Amino acid sequence: MGFQPTVSNIANCNETKKVLQATRSSKQDAEKFLRKYEEEGEKYYYQSAWSRWKFYLHINDANQAVMEEAQMNQTNFDAIQANKALAFRPFSRFEYETRRRLEKISDIGLFFDDSQAQEFNRDVNQMSKIYSNAYVCNVVNPNCYNDPTATADHWEFDPTLANLMFESRDYDLLEYIWKQWRQETGMKELPYYRDYVKLGNEGAKKGNYSNMGEWWRSSYEDPDFETQLENLWAEVLPFYEELHSYIRRNLMEKIYPNRFNTTAIPAHILGNMWAQEWTALFKDTAPYPDLPSVDVTETMKQKKYTPLKMFETAQDFFNSIGLFNMTPEFWKYSMLEKPKNRSVDCWPTAEDFGNRKDFTIKMCTVVNMIDLVTVHHEMGHIEYYMSYMNQPLEFKEGANPGFHEAIGDTIALSVNTPNHLESIGLLQQTEEKDRKKQHLNFLYNMALSKIAFLPFGYLIDLYRWKIFSGSVPSDQWNTEWWKLRYKYQGLVPPVPRTNRDFDAGAKYHVPNDVPYIRYFVAAIIQFQFQKALCEAAGHKGALSDCDIYKSKAAGTKLKNMLSMGSSKPWQDAMEVIANTRKMSAQPMLEYFKEIRDWLHQRNSEAGDCYGWGYEWPASYNLPQPRCGKFVQPLPDYEEFIEQHNKLGEQIYYDFVNAEWTYWLNETSWNQEESVRQSAIKSAFDSAEAKKAKSYFICAIPNATIKREMSTIATVEIVLNETDMKRFYEDINNMNNIYSTAYICNPAHPDCHESDTGKMYRWEFNPTLSKLMATSTDYDLLKYIWVGWRNETGVKELPLYREYVQLGNKGARNAGYANMGSSWRSVYEDPEFTTQLEKLWAQVLPFYEELFAYMRHFLKSRYPGKFSTTALPAHILGNMWAQSWTNLFDATAPYRNLPSVDVTEEMKKQNYTPKLMFE
């Protein structure tokens, strides 16, 4: 009959109409809000960008004040608009684009009141100013900081310090520069950084994030982001270790012989202020050093390249694949060279002013190949800006921050190829017979840039996320920094560092509040992009040979992705360009396969080891053999072992003899001698371990000798003479307390007070042990149990506290986390505790069966004495309830059968202790 109107139906229809009208009204209100937001937001965005740009190009207090005011205005605008956007919740009722726009506007991350915002911005700007104005005094005039007339001796980062770090091979000069730069940047920034972290976390919590690190990670819109990063690191670590091993060997043997013996590399000798890329070492370490270099710096100078020409060259590349030319405003307002008459921020930066025409780059460009690549990288940002300039304001950003960094780097993969450099007249390739060798040189140079960077790109934000989360106390920040640099990069500082230093602040992005994980992401995904673009360009052959120059098909594929901005999650953008929704290191590993194989062959031929003493999970499948922490090969391992055994034999005999004598006759003299011999043995072990560690143990070919050396090198406790003596005194004193302990017969509780009371003293063997095994007197057993602990544990406790403190100190000195870690090390299994847990889980059901059976019996033996399901510890026939065999006769399944305990028979046959041993 179809639909029939009823009162109920009509009422429902009216309600539905109201809902639809409200929805339409909400949609119209939202659209109106978004239009107004776009119109007003562009003005604030432009003013903030312009004031920031002006400050970067003219660093002075006046421009800083203008910038801070503009930042405040934008911060207030963002907060007001976020609250307005939140009023439209639930966002799920809107269509996708409206919903995503409202979500982005409402999520500003940090919510501040005016005073907090001003203080936060002032902290960042002050740190930025410290960094930008930093310089190091010329080594011949190290006190120039206090001399206003000595400006000629001011070594600024660009170009002086950067060039010296790159070109110098003076170990001590590099150490001086490295140390002073950190003193003039990070150390001075530290007070501001502490406040910056505090305020940032407060603002993040108001924005519904647990801390600033969680807010930073939210831009990747992926709950598994951190896990993905760990997996990517595990993929690339074996290759990084191949490169690290090869470079370390060259540094030790050729460039800086006898200057270091750690398997981790001193951080100042890799050609870069932060050791984040190692291309400076190419000339000294290239596979085929006699072939023409793929570094075209000299050719650029011969051909009269200027910074302007370098930017024009980059524009030509983008234009050749169908992307944009730079705007007139770009050429008018960009800073392409460092001015001589004022202080500027030289860090290469691309800026979008949000008005669809003003795009700029600032860069203190130097005519060399590294800067040519950087120019392409920065112009890649501009191409991204221009591609999404017609998107709504809130979508004018990369699909994720890593995408933005990857675009210029993807283009640079083509620019760097010998084929492309030849096509633009910057490289003359070798004869055909040497092409493969030259290509290996090219790949090696790329690895020094791309692969060497990976751990640094990963660890900077791992470090800051730890700082933001509060998992690292502020008085341990620098310690944590060097833990991570050691763990991931295999580096050590060239000079001692303290927690008064703040070495992370020596890197531009830390004081300038710039998240860094984007660069690690970019380093990975640029190879995914390149592989996809090369396929679009119809490239055949090795991925490392591909040059997409002049391929409109590749440009179209790239532009389709760029124009999306952040209108869709990054996984959608990745799918548009690379036909996958995941990040993967496999295209990178494919790109570098030839040079990775070459490095592995060279390292194997040299008998080298891998790593730097850090123990990664076994699942990482790392190359073998593994290194210890030190490298200092000595000629004769067997001679060392022979001498060790010769010296150690008498020391160990004296130690065991003194210990045995004390056990058999616990006099004070024997105790002192036992302590003395224990300290002598420990000092010997520590000294021999130190010697053994100086050998290159991982490279010993003989497995037996290698194990002997590893055993000698392993010591559980390292203490100075005074502490070691005290440690053994504590052990012996506790042993003495235990060995001489007794309790008084309950009928004579004052047995301590006179010699006549001795007959009433119950010692452990045989009295207490026998009573615990045979008595069924609940209260007597309780009396014995309590009394024994009063006479042992209570008296031992002060000594045990000091024993733990000294033991942990000694274990840490020996390289362990604590004494427990030291003890577990003898099992030589990183999964030892996990295995124990699994074993316990296997036997627990059986133990519970036995426990339940025994509890049933004991409740009947001691009716009303206990009501807990757990058993009282004193009624199980043993002082520690560690064995229940003394309850066998009372609980055996078949008590009438002869016992398997042959004690009575042994007595009948007149057994003696000697006969038992015989």
Q: Which parts are annotated binding residues for chloride?
A: 220, 518
Using CA atoms, how far residue 309 sits from 305, 313, 314, in Å, is: 6, 6, 9
Q: Which of 378, 383, 688, 729 is catalytic?
A: 378
End-to-end CA distance of the chain: 107
Q: Is 38 a catalytic residue?
A: no
> Could you give the 3-state DSSP secondary structure of residue 292?
coil
Concatenate the DSSP letters of all residues of 650-707 into one string. Answer: HHHHHHHHHHHHHHHS--HHHHHHHHHHHHHHHHHHHHHHHHHHTS-GGG---HHHHH
* Amino acid identity at 794: V
Binding residues: 220, 377, 381, 405, 518
Run of H or E including 154: strand 154-156
Using CA atoms, how far residue 763 sits from 742, 772, 785, in Å, is: 4, 12, 13
Phi-psi region of 878 (alpha: psi -120 to 50; beta: other; left: phi over 0): beta
Peptide bond connecting 148 to the previous residue in cis, omega within 30 degrees of 0: no
What are the tokens at 357? 């025409």
Cβ atoms < 10 Å from Cβ of 538 = 10
Phi-psi region of 744 (alpha: psi -120 to 50; beta: other; left: phi over 0): beta
Name the pairing type of β-strands 359-362 and 349-352: antiparallel
Cβ atoms < 10 Å from Cβ of 193 = 23
Give the residue carrying structure tokens 């705007």. Answer: 327
8-state DSSP, 155: E
What are the tokens at 539? 């490239």
- Residue 820: alpha-carbon gap to chain centroid: 24
Binding residues for Zn(2+): 377, 381, 405
Nearby residues of 350 by Cβ (< 8 Å), 6 or more positions away: 359, 360, 361, 378, 379, 381, 382, 385
Which three-class secondary structure string do you get for 347-401?
A: CCEEEECCCCCCEEEECCCCCCHHHHHHHHHHHHHHHHHHHCCCCCHHHCCCCCH
What are the tokens at 841? 């889980």
Using CA atoms, how far residue 484 sits from 271, 274, 460, 479, 698, in Å, is: 20, 13, 9, 9, 23
Q: Which of 58, 154, 509, 748 is catalytic?
A: 509
Q: Tell me the C-alpha distance between 309 and 368, whole Å.
A: 12
- Residue 437: alpha-carbon gap to chain centroid: 36
8-state DSSP, 262: B
Contact indicator for 238, 600 with CB cutoff of 8 Å: no
The number of CA neighbours under 13 Å toward the Cβ of 603 is 26
Q: Tell me the C-alpha distance between 113 and 523, whole Å.
A: 37
Q: Tell me the C-alpha distance between 589 and 602, whole Å.
A: 18
Nearby residues of 577 by Cβ (< 8 Å), 6 or more positions away: 528, 529, 532, 533, 557, 558, 560, 561
Nearest to 57 by CA among 311, 328, 346, 352: 346
Give the residue carrying structure tokens 């291309």. Answer: 279
Give the residue carrying structure tokens 């004040």. Answer: 65
Q: Is 378 a catalytic residue?
A: yes
Nearby residues of 742 by Cβ (< 8 Å), 6 or more positions away: 761, 762, 763, 764, 791
Q: Tell me the C-alpha distance between 87 and 627, whole Å.
A: 59
Residues with catalytic function = 378, 509
